[in-house]
Amino acid sequence: MEFDLEEEKIEILRRYRGLLRAAKNSKSREDRKTIRKAFDIALDKHSDQRRKSGEPYIYHPISVARVVAGELGLDTTSIVCALLHDTVEDTSLTLDDVESLFGNKERNRVDGLTKMSGVFEPGTSAQAENFRKMLLTLSNDVRVILIKLADRLDNMRTLDFMRPDKQQKIASETLYMYAPLAHRLGLYAIKTELEDLSLKYKEAEEFELINSRLRKTKDVRARFIRSFCAPIKRSLDEAGIKYSIKGRPKSIYSIWRKMQNQQVSFEEVYDVFAVRIVLDTDRDKEKSEIWRTYSIVTDYYQPNPDRLRDWISLPKGNGYESLHTTVMSPSGKWVEIQIRSERMDHVAEKGFAAHWRYKEGGESTVGGDQIDKWLTQIRDVLDNENEDAIEFIDELAMDLQSNDIFVFTPNGDMITLPQGASTLDFAFKVHSKVGETCIGGKVNHKLVPLSHKLSSGDQIEILTNKRQRPKEEWLKFVATSHARQKIRHALKEVKRERAEEGKDIVEKWMKKVGIHSTLYNLESLYRRLKLASAQDLYHEVATGLIKLEEITKFSVKQGKIVWPKGPKPGTSSKTAVTEKYIKPQKEDTLLIGENLQKIDYNLAQCCNPIPGDDVFGFITVSGGIKIQRQNCSNATNMLSKYAYRMMKARWSSKAEQQFEVKLSFTGIDDLGLVNQITQIISEDMEVNMRAIKMETHDGIFRGYVSVLIMNKNHLEDLITKLKNVSGVHTVERVKAES
């Protein structure tokens, strides 16, 4: 492949100058000199490397540094680290070189980024441990994670050149961990772009559909927003309030999610229109000016009382401050209004980066303390080295994706918890000893159990008893990883104490039957009983789940335990294999793997793939292959953590094989409607029905039908015909429950 090196040199310099323009906080001669030195080193070290697109590799570090400088507004040290973030791992540059050329701060941050480079690589424990490393780095220096998010953003922007399976893997990781992490750190602009780009690869058709609808309605929306804002502008001018006002569409991802959650079309999404009013006002006047502006808006437009969100009096846990309301326009469209100050807008766009800058300047930001508390909480969870790493990632993902509620102690101190938190979560948040001895609570002076779900504004008093001990079922009651980790730690202590008792019983039994107390004999015993460790054996003996005297099928030779051997290979009678799905000869064949071969597989029950669906193969723990739909709600989680177990898969033909699909439909109840629906299914489309259920309530009906169809086109034709029945409002294929 031929490259125009002269043209590339010009482009590299153009991009470098763009980086300098974006680095508004690095204006001094010393700063520029340092950035130039880092750029020259990166350019030299990456000179013979190219990206998948064929472009020079240096484009990537420059782009990451530009996001770090412009979109995050970070310091010179962070820009240097962004330029050098791949050099230590991919080139001959060492951490000692970085320290001698720049300094100790730069060395530590580049070291943090290098440790994180292996996140989500093949091997479950490796990927989870690397994510753990990443969060350890996060808890020590949050700027490292900001650079990592900038790196992920550039990778997502250039994902077009990756293989489709790689695209699915990276998009799933991004949606599962990186977008929620950006949200938790208050980086709304980056979080939104990461979500939209992930959707572009995970749900390409639906992404393009929403994107094209937004493009087509752009002019209409602009005209609508202009006329909507005109009276507000007049009144703000008359009141002498300095402001800027802009209309903006909701993100593609948030529109898609509303369409999914509420089962509505694009046209029916509640508030596609959004207006942001940003006030130029002093810090001490912010609150009064914002409420004054709210009063002006509601003079003209009727607000929805259920949609008022006051994050000015109670900022979000990540420092986000804004007043949100949804009002009804004269044309019958709901419009979301966001009112905030310039400072609040800056923090909303830059998130933790802005908080860190204000803090460095000696001025603390509202919400900054909340983020510091959250980072401390992560440190607590990471301190437990025995924590199952994959479980830890799942719990962190839950923590990241949850919204906050605000509750109060009996003294009136406010505590922030994730939505869905229980009395027990609150108890562990107060103190681990309070959590471990908690027997219940009083919420707003009423007695409630440990599992009671809290709501914003609740005042909670915890009741304890020193004889109380944590129980296994407590894990079902809690929503925070902090509480779950403390409960597990306490349960392990209890298990360890019981195991000590069991150890004595096992050793006495072995001595009695003549088995030597060796590691070989111990391992042979617990493996025969299908247990994972000697600790498990001791615990189950102590609790009476295993009775040693009932184990008789063994002999002892010179102190060694010997188990009877099974039948010789080929002599046992064959049994039917229930796990593997053996395909009949005429079935639609599915080609699996890099070479797209015919391999036996199971169809995932959570999403019931059918011919024509976009699918992938997933290697199960037992070694079989499970076929999943790419848009299955479980796929994001699976691909983000176990992408190395994914295999390519696609349908090869349209043979006469039938697959079961469940459809749901809603509409206005009408005489003979059920008859029309069943006639279309069984007569017009010649489809076999497995089950049908209809229920009506106040003239509205909801129905479910299980049908046997041949492929995706067959299904789409059936859905179209059902939608044309008078009175039917929606017809949807039932997706897997997450």
Q: What is the DSSP code string of 477-540?
A: T---HHHHHHHHHHHHHHHHHHHHHHHHHHHHHHHHHT----HHHHHHHHHHTT-S-HHHHHHH
What interhelical angle do 76-84 and 104-115 show, nearest 10? 50
Q: Which residues contact 599 (CB under 8 A, 6 or more apart)?
A: 592, 593, 617, 625
pLDDT digits (tens, 9 = 90+) for 145-159: 788 888 889 989 888
Which of residues 36 and 575 earns the better pLDDT score? 36
Which of residues 576 and 441 earns the better pLDDT score? 441
Secondary structure of residue 151 in the 3-state scheme? helix
H-assigned helices in 402-480: 423-430, 432-436
pLDDT digits (tens, 9 = 90+) for 585-629: 344 556 665 555 556 677 887 777 877 777 888 877 666 788 888
Which of residues 16 and 543 earns the better pLDDT score? 16
Helix (H), strand (E) at residue 564: none
Does residue 717 carry a catalytic annotation? no
Nearest to 190, CA basis, from 316, 321, 71: 71
On the question of pLDDT at 137 being above 60, the answer is no
Per the residue annotation, which of 89, 268, 472, 716 is the catalytic one? 89
Side chain identity, residue 539: H
**Which residue is associated with the tokens 């809290």?**
454
**What pLDDT is attached to residue 422?**
92
Task: Decide if domain 659-733 falls under CATH 1.20.140.160.
Answer: no
Q: What share of the chain is helix, strand, coil (3-state, %, to 5)?
A: 50, 15, 30
**What pLDDT is attached to residue 559?**
79
Signed CA dihedral, 499, 503, 509, 510: sign only: positive
**What pLDDT is attached to residue 365?**
46
**Which range is least confidently modeled, 64-73, 110-119, 192-201, 565-574?**
565-574
Considering the chain, tell me which residue range(s) the CATH 1.10.3210.10 domain(s) occupy.
5-187
Give the highest mean pLDDT range of 1-5, 363-367, 454-458.
Answer: 454-458
What is the average per-residue pLDDT within 387-403?
58
Considering the chain, tell me which residue range(s) the CATH 3.30.460.10 domain(s) occupy.
211-350
Nearest to 702, CA basis, from 659, 732, 738: 732
d(C-alpha 427, C-alpha 410), whole Å: 12
**Which range is least confidently modeled, 147-156, 454-463, 529-538?**
529-538
pLDDT band at 423 (very low <50, low <70, confident <90, very high): very high
**Which range is least confidently modeled, 278-282, 399-403, 496-500, 524-528?**
399-403
Per the residue annotation, which of 8, 11, 55, 90 is the catalytic one? 90
**What pLDDT is attached to residue 238?**
92
Task: Decide if 355 contacts 365 (C-beta within 8 A).
Answer: yes
DSSP 731: E
**What pLDDT is attached to residue 360?**
45
On the question of pLDDT at 67 being above 60, the answer is yes
Helix (H), strand (E) at residue 725: none
On the question of pLDDT at 396 being above 70, the answer is no
On the question of pLDDT at 579 being above 50, the answer is no
Give the highest mean pLDDT range of 564-568, 633-637, 724-728.
Answer: 724-728
The average confidence (pLDDT) of the chain is 78
Task: Decide if domain 211-350 falls under CATH 3.30.460.10.
Answer: yes
pLDDT band at 120 (very low <50, low <70, confident <90, very high): very low
What is the average per-residue pLDDT within 416-420?
83
Give the highest mean pLDDT range of 81-90, 290-299, 526-535.
Answer: 290-299
pLDDT band at 184 (very low <50, low <70, confident <90, very high): confident
CA 187 to chain centre: 15
**Which range is least confidently modeled, 58-62, 616-620, 649-653?**
649-653
On the question of pLDDT at 367 being above 50, the answer is no
Considering the chain, tell me which residue range(s) the CATH 3.30.70.260 domain(s) occupy.
659-733
**What torsion, rounded to 10 degrees, do the Cα atoms 425, 431, 434, 435 define?**
30
**What pLDDT is attached to residue 338?**
92
Does residue 203 carry a catalytic annotation? no
What is the average per-residue pLDDT within 576-589?
40
pLDDT band at 558 (very low <50, low <70, confident <90, very high): confident
pLDDT band at 358 (very low <50, low <70, confident <90, very high): very low
Nearest to 200, CA basis, from 210, 189, 188, 215: 210
Which residues partner with 448 through β-bridges?
441
Which of residues 229 and 514 earns the better pLDDT score? 229
CATH code of the domain made up of 5-187: 1.10.3210.10
pLDDT digits (tens, 9 = 90+) for 311-344: 888 887 667 889 999 898 888 888 889 999 988 8
On the question of pLDDT at 96 being above 50, the answer is yes
